[in-house]
Amino acid sequence: MLVTLRAVPAEAEIASHQLLLRGGYIKRISAGIYAYMPLMWMVLNKITKIVQEEMNKAGGLQTLLPQLQPAELWEKSGRWSAYTEGEGIMFNLKDRQGRLLGLGPTHEEIITKIAGETIFSYKQLPINLYQIQTKFRDEIRPRFGLMRSREFIMKDAYSFHSNETSLKATYQKMNEAYKQIFSRSGVQTVAVDADSGAIGGAASQEFMVTAESGEDLILTSSDNKYSANQEKAISKAPKPLPLKQGKPCTIDTPNQKSIEELCSKQLIDATQIIKVLVLIAVTEDGQQQPLLISIRGDQELNEIKLINALSNQIGKGVLSITQINEDQLKSEGLKSWPFGSIGPDFEDSNLIGANNWKEEFVRFSDHTAAELESFVCGANQLDKHRSHMNWPLLGGAQRAVDIRKAKAGDSCVHDPSQILTSKRGIEVGHIFQLGRKYSKALQATFTNEEGLQEAFWMGCYGIGISRLAQAAVEQNHDEVGICWPISIAPFEVIVVIANINDDAQKNLGEKLYEDLKANEIEVLLDDRPERAGVKFKDADLIGIPWRLVVGRDAALGKVELIQRINRRSKVLESKEATKELVQEIFASRS
């Protein structure tokens, strides 16, 4: 069943999405929902087999967990509201008895419950359970085909341990297994430090397929010894320009609310300014916490780092952070604030009268701001700023944390001589050291060597099977179609009979097809009553690694052998072509 498209579908934004739709690999049903057509199912099965082999080799035990999950488990872990309210990604429903259920986006709660009811002693540990199944996430903006879909195939594994040392050993074992999986799948990946996000845990690492269309920005040191997702990356910012000598004073800054306007009018550099961001955080228990953030004028806020810093300070999860505006002030019954001129010492008294907000700012200063000895900042009056200020004049330094976005051109903190460069990537795998977050929340314990009850140490390891398939296309294509890595291609060879009405071509094509099958080669026969040009274009589009063209030289027993990746071709005797193909393909399998 091969139905290809010549035109690029309107909804397809990136090359891999376009090619999978045009090649008949996937069929869009609705936003973020796709059917896997026969060729795609073959690709997915090949990736799945590779994953199973490497997971089994690493000591994993395959299982299958329920997709419907009771809300009470997620309420115990504290994630139900975060995943189902506001911008939460969990599809949820009620059964006929009115009980709340979620359609699983991940399975930490379920597997922790099972472990707590089946593993009783440290002697049963460690254990690593994995599954491969469909996951569901109610993406706010599903896009890029299988890259960000609402229904997708994923391998997720969960390990249980009696101590942290054992957890780290399995984490490293999974790291090596993942490298093998991606290498065998024919994709080049970069392992980067990553934020643990809503999953949580002490440490995590993402595996990125590098591609210009990637949603994630990866920062790498020039010696390749450090790589991190920008959400997690740390770096040393360029040194600021010192202010010219002068005394502290207030300056008029009419209509100078942005850093660019202030620099242009006052003839100063952005590195000499402290900009202040006034934000509101919503915590997992529904409280609204105002924030006052100071950061150097040339730097950008990293919201992920800020969420983590705030969570650590207040001891609970943070669902979202947004900037405060005049409409919010009015809704809270607060007086107008001098936006554009707010300084790091903006008073808490401005919050008095708020109906739903806490009455004190949580204040953070990024290191780039905290380290400035003399700077320009807002004067807390509209159209006024202060110059040559310092932290003692503002009542002392705020809590200094790393909440800026690292970026290309910064120095690596591990070696300042190394400069960070950037590239884009597609996340295809993520491994976590979860620690005891879920086992404590769900009271999942075992008896340790001292005979005492102790919460499990846990790890979590995920690979997007369907996402990996599309990422392979994004990394392996040219202007005419897909160039599948042979290990995950739907077929290894396609035999194209140029003219099915020519008996010599038909007979030789069918013989080649049978000979290759007899040699255990995965082969597709294109004997459609189409023009040769159509068949050749389709063969390029669907990207099968080797092509045998049976054309006008068939009567002489000759065929054309073409390698898809480089389009090299040669005319050979049919037996010689079969022999060469078998040798090449078996060599690629080893």
β-strands 68-70, 100-103: how paired? antiparallel
pLDDT given at position 282? 86
Distance between CA 290 and CA 395 in Å, rounded?
20
Report residue 37: phi and psi, to 5°.
-80, 170
The predicted model gives 242-265 an average pLDDT of 93
Q: What is the mean pLDDT of residues 354-378?
A: 88
Residue 357 is predicted with a pLDDT of 75
Segments of the chain assigned to CATH 3.40.50.800: 491-589
Q: Write down the pTM of the prediction.
A: 0.87
Q: How many CB atoms lie within 10 A of CB 423?
A: 17
Cα dihedral 508, 514, 520, 523, rounded to 10, equals: 70
24 HSE (CA, 13 A, CB side): 15
The two tokens of residue 372 are 């400035």
Give me the helix-helix angle, 465-475 and 38-57, nearest 10°. 110
The pLDDT tens digits of the residues spanning 405-462 come to 999 999 998 888 999 999 999 999 999 999 999 999 999 999 999 999 999 999 999 9
Tokens of 270: 């952005």
Q: Read off the pLDDT of each residue in 163-178 and give the average, rounded to a whole number.
A: 96
pLDDT, tens digit, for every residue of 17-53? 999 999 999 999 999 999 999 999 999 999 999 999 9
Class of domain 491-589 (CATH, top level)? alpha beta
pLDDT in tens, 107-150: 999 999 999 999 999 999 999 999 999 999 999 889 899 999 99
Closest CA to 170 of 458, 462, 464: 458
Average pLDDT for residues 238-267, to the nearest whole number?
94
- Predicted local confidence at residue 202, as pLDDT: 63
Closest to 369 measured CA to CA, from 350, 349, 389: 389
- How confident is the model at residue 195, as a pLDDT? 67
SS3 at position 62: strand
Share of the chain above pLDDT 90, in %: 79
CATH number of 249-401: 3.90.960.10
Check pLDDT > 60 for residue 200.
Answer: no
- Residue 355: predicted pLDDT: 63
Which range has the top average pLDDT, 41-50, 189-198, 210-219, 321-330? 41-50
Domain 15-62+106-228+421-473 sits in CATH at 3.30.930.10
